[in-house]
Structure 1
């Protein structure tokens, strides 16, 4: 697979892998199957893995750690693992959470992630969400100390505003911003993306396939099993699905032109937006993992990119990204 440089000499596969769904949020999971899927990353040359202490309350990091432990030293060196801290969840609540950017919490979280992952240094460590209760300068100073101590190699932020990016960069160079970005979520283009490009940092879009919508595999709310958070997500309520299918239907002719799937077109579009973009689609199916990896080879023509921009102007996507609880710390 083609490689991309996020920043600071950080070279990774053009398409990464978001591991969240291996632990929760998207229905039932099975660790044995998950490890089999992770083993396919080597064959597909996907070298960038994204996890977080939030996912499964540590389970996701432990799973990635188990995968890494089974690799030879040479194989392990091929992978870049990114994880995150900054969101606390009580054990007795499924989605309730508190954003915590306090330095002592960041330090404790880093040490816990190192242990779960079974590594001596975290390749890329993000603040998962931004809290207005803690000045970003204090959080960045703590993260910078962790870099100096050799606990983390690079620092990233998630869902940060343009102003926060500028303030953070003034304390310590950022490696990447992770945020939602796709054909159906383009909020960052007005203010945030220009700052990312000016600062020259990497952009790691999560949910690059619109939580599966852009693959065309989900056309009814009833397609989602119990335990899949999309079943209750505003954008996946049937009225909104019916409206948003206009976007998917507009992408379909391009998929036919390139002998690709609509999901692959969505990923190829992202790759064309900025040379330092590395999307991290997630899946629990090996077939879809392969499909996503193959999107790295698709280069959309300029006219097709312009056409997708015209579609964006003509079709307004309906439905909120998250619940009010889920929007805490977004664009902060």
Structure 2
């Protein structure tokens, strides 16, 4: 590992997949800058992008579905200003239309090729550093979908391929079609189903694991207790099973050991949750969480978590948390890896 950055906490760098480029050991999820978490102060969000880069964060994560393309467009000026300093990741597969509730999954070759051209245009780039299949449609063989993605690499439109929310068996199958650099799935103290098979497969194949929602969509920060009561009307967490009603009350009680460990380190609950994720990097596995934030102050807090080392007794105290969580990760779990585990 090497160090990188110029201001504040300087985070280490690791390879993005076997033989891949060096990136900051923590990335930035940009989804919330355009949708899902209520209104955004764009000036503050742009300042957060700059603060991230100054801290050594170089992996910036977006998707064509975030804001129906608006997030890619929002990032474009930042990307243009820092193209040689950053690693840009975007995704395809979640189809949107004028119905705000509609989500379709498309993995067919024609859709892949059309989606990449639209992302390249919105981002204002000639090549995407890391291109993910956002969700898997099991009806489409990997030979078609990953094969189409591989064509984009051969044509110089994409540098490396990634998958999101796939099982260990699916990762191996896709990797046999074309090398996969990164697997992005939900992984946190509140969500550990990826440990059934995906984590082991990633370690075996030299695939970097990129946990999204490593702070449990903010719940692990302790900043809200019941999404339906504490968050704005435009916040999608108001409809997530884990964060509302009786489920929220039960899950809020699970934060007690997180807070206990935080007090011992003079840290925040969020920092302990992130430190836990970073310490999943064992047995040769590279772990690069991408906590999302729109505030530079939160960015600095998150980056500082990379310096926290939890003791074995602290890890033991936190170990049971996920097994006691009440409620699913999404209202519809159909297109998650958990739904396809044997």
- Indicate yes or no: 2:248 matched with 1:241: yes
Equivalent position to 1:46, from 31, 41, 57: 57
Q: CA deviation at 1:277?
A: 0.5
Give SS of 1:318's match: coil
CA contact (8 A) 2:44 2:295 kept: no
Which secondary structure does the structure 2 equivalent of 1:153 belong to?
strand
Aligned counterparts of 1:48 and 1:302: Cα–Cα separation in 2: 30
Question: Is 1:77–2:84 an aligned residue pair?
Answer: yes
1:271/1:32 CA distance change after superposition, 3 Å: same
SS in 1 for 2:90: strand
Q: Please point out which of 5, 8, 14 is paired with 2:25.
A: 14
Whether the aligned pair in 1 keeps the contact of 2:257 and 2:317 (CA below 8 Å) is no
Residue 71 of structure 2 is aligned to residue 63 of structure 1: no
Whole-angstrom CA distance in 1 between matches of 2:175 and 2:148: 14
Q: Per-residue CA shift, 1:192-226, capped at 9, x if unaligned?
A: 21111111201001000000011111113311101
Structure-to-structure mapping, 1:1-332, within 5 angstroms: 1-7=11-17, 8-69=19-80, 71=81, 75-90=82-97, 92-221=98-227, 222-274=229-281, 275-313=285-323, 316-324=324-332, 327-331=333-337, 332=340
- Superposed displacement of residue 234, structure 1: 1.0
Q: Name the SS of the counterpart of 2:128 in structure 1.
A: coil
**DSSP 3-state at the match of 2:159:** coil
1:258-307: per-residue Cα shift (whole Å, max 9, x none)? 11111111111111112411000111222111111111111222332233
**Aligned-partner Cα distance in 2 for 1:304–1:233:** 29
Distance in 2 between the 1:9 and 1:236 partners? 37
Report deviation, 1:310.
4.1
Scaled by the length of structure 1, the TM-score of the pair is: 0.94
Q: Which deviations, in whole Å up to 9, do the C-alpha atoms of 1:110-162 show, x marking residues without a partner? A: 11111111111100000000002211121111111111111100000000122
Q: Distance in 2 between matches of 1:298 and 1:269?
A: 9
| 5+ long unaligned stretches in structure 2 | 1-10
Q: Is the 8 A contact 1:182 1:210 kept in 2?
A: yes
Give the RMSD, CA atoms, in angstroms.
Answer: 1.4
Q: CA deviation at 1:19?
A: 0.3
Question: CA contact under 8 A between 2:64 and 2:90: conserved in structure 1?
Answer: yes
8 Å Cα contact 1:6/1:277 also seen in 2: no
Question: Structure 1 stretch 171-180 or stretch 30-39: which is displaced more?
Answer: 30-39
Distance 1:261 1:33 in 2: 22
TM superposition shift of 1:239: 1.1
Q: What is the Cα deviation at residue 312 of structure 1? A: 4.3
Per-residue deviation, 1:311: 4.3
Structure-2-length-normalised TM-score = 0.91
Listed as ranges, the gaps of 5+ residues in structure 1 are: none
Q: Secondary structure at the match of 1:203?
A: strand
CA contact (8 A) 1:137 1:167 kept: no
Q: Distance in 2 between matches of 1:321 and 1:210?
A: 9
Aligned residues: 323
Cα offsets for 1:159-181 (capped at 9, x unmatched): 01222111101111100110000
Q: Secondary structure at 2:99's aligned position in 1?
A: coil
